[in-house]
Amino acid sequence: MSDHRAAIEYATTHVDDFLANLRSLVNIPSVSTSPEYETDMRRAADKVSELFTRVGLEHIQVLPTAGHPIVYADWLHAGPEKPTVLVYGHYDVQPADPLELWESAPFEPEVRGDFLFGRGASDMKGQVVAVLSALEAIRATDGSYPLNFRFLVEGEEEIGSPHLKPFIEAHREMLSCDISLNPDAGMVAADVPTLVYALRGLAFFELRIYGPEHDLHSGVFGGIVHNPAKALSEVIAGLHDANGTVTVPGFYDKVRPLSEEERAELARLPMDDGYYLAQTGAPRLWGEAGFTPTERIGARPTLEINGLLSGFTGNGTKTVLPAYAMAKFSTRLVADQQPDEIHQLFKEYFARIIPPTVRWELIYYGGGAACATDPHQPAALAMRAALEQAWGIRPVLKREGGSVPVVADIQKLLGADTVLPGFGLPDDRIHSPNERLHLPTWQKGIQALVYFFYRYADQEGN
């Protein structure tokens, strides 16, 4: 085994340097959802390239797509007998709004206590920088890497990666690998090392309801036309029944049932009702009857309203009967649900249930398929051992509620499975105001990645 103790020592003593790299990346408002940040998106891609340069990666390219560019780099000098790891990451982030709820500016990263606060600190600029920090520690102490590396860092994950799949299709050779490392998963808690082995898929929609041709006076016309805000509410209210089950016909048809063994495994996760009440601050839990919270999040498809808008929403009152109402919603899917099929089901359902008193339109923003990876393949075993080495306890195996569609794409297009670590915590407030990264966990994560690279190289290459 190579001299990994020196690399661990380096990683421990250079945390401030790693943190400076992370801050320089969080500093760039690379919000992919809105065209106004296009320049910042390019700046973020360039910053990733710069960080690649610092750890000696080669063939660094900012490659255009029809949307935001993809950053590629590689280092292929470990020898053909050593495996090639394709590291996936994304440099884009969610919008920061509502801005007024942030305690420090979202794109001026600030350390308070054990946390770095800033949009993207946890999701996932911190995770990308963790991998690069582990590489830096190895390179600084070992002079070279024990594995071959390729990096693929995209800028459209937060908008559903619309151009990633065609990119991978067009660059199969450039991206060929034995395993993919995707540190976009997370941990159950700071003291519970976690390996995620399944991910939910996703489909995004917007339902627009149109009533009268223009806003009407609610007194002069109230009571004779179907208020679009009301019609929309009726549709949304009807999307679940009293048991929390989605009512759209066919929605559950492709859902793989949970095995008894899997339910037993999930029951061992340290996440009961009290845990989720504390994490969310909700007054009570809610959801599909007959399933535990971890089952509902990891192994059941769900439907969430992401936004509502209609009429007058300022201070005070306005006696308006609005012409228009819209809801943004998304479904989280589990294997073997397909987003396009789900879109079709919603279209048919709405056509059947929305009354002729209003007009409607369903926008489909795309999505990604659900997937499951093999927790027993060599890289997964190496990661489980590396996590145990860093934390001193055996990691738990978890099905993740979030979506990482690239995992299914890489399985399908490159024939490579993915290992899904990640050092974010459930209360990192990703996608919310005051997103943060727990720095002690992040530091252990960097060490775990150092262990992983050496272990996987030893396991596979000998």
Query: Of residues 149-208, which lie at the interface with its own copies (CB under 8 A)?
Result: 158-160, 186, 200, 202, 204
Ranges within 225-264 binding its own copies (CB under 8 A): 225-227, 229-230, 232-234, 236-240
| Residue-by-residue DSSP string for 419-459 | EB---B-TTS-TTSTT-EEEHHHHHHHHHHHHHHHHHHHHH
Q: Is 289 in the site for its own copies (CB under 8 A)?
A: no
Complex with its own copies: residue 19 or 96, whichever CB lies closer: 96
Angle at 249 between CA 246 and CA 255, to 5 degrees: 70
DSSP string, 43-58: HHHHHHHHHHHHTT-E
Query: Does residue 362 bind its own copies (CB under 8 A)?
Result: no
Query: Contact 308/326 with Cβ under 8 angstroms?
Result: yes
Instruction: Give the H or E element holding residue 405.
Output: helix 405-414
Q: How far is the CB of 461 from its own copies (least distance, A)?
A: 35
Tell me how many residues contact its own copies (CB under 8 A): 99
368-407: b (≥16 Cβ within 10 Å) or e: bbbbbbebeebbbbbbbbbbebbbeeebbbbbbbbbbbbb
Residues 34-73 that bind its own copies (CB under 8 A): 34-35
Q: How far is the CB of 430 from its own copies (least distance, A)?
A: 5
The nearer residue to its own copies, 130 or 239, going by C-beta atoms, is 239
Contact segment (CB under 8 A) with its own copies among 112-120, 175-183, 255-263, 294-302 equals 294-302
Among 284, 352, 376, 462, contact with its own copies (rule: CB under 8 A): 284
Residue 404 CA, distance from chain mean position: 6
The residue (of 60 and 309) whose beta carbon lies closer to its own copies is 309
What is the rounded CA–CA span in Å between residue 158 and residue 404?
10
Binding marks (x or -) toward its own copies, 363..382, rule CB under 8 A? --x-----------------
Q: Which stretch binds its own copies (CB under 8 A): 6-14, 249-257, 328-336, 387-395?
A: 328-336
- 14 vs 429, which CB is nearer to its own copies? 429
Residue 94 is a binding residue for its own copies (CB under 8 A): yes
Residue nearer to its own copies on the CB measure, 177 or 335: 335
Mutual angle of helices 125-142 and 439-461, in 10-degree steps? 60
Please pick, from the candidates 20, 359, 393, 415, the single residue that binds its own copies as defined by CB under 8 A.
Answer: 359
Stretch that binds its own copies, among 253-261, 326-334, 405-413, 452-460 (CB under 8 A): 326-334
Q: 390, 422, 424, 443: which is closest to 15 by C-alpha?
A: 443
Contacts of 60 (CB under 8 A, 6+ apart): 49, 52, 53, 71, 72, 73
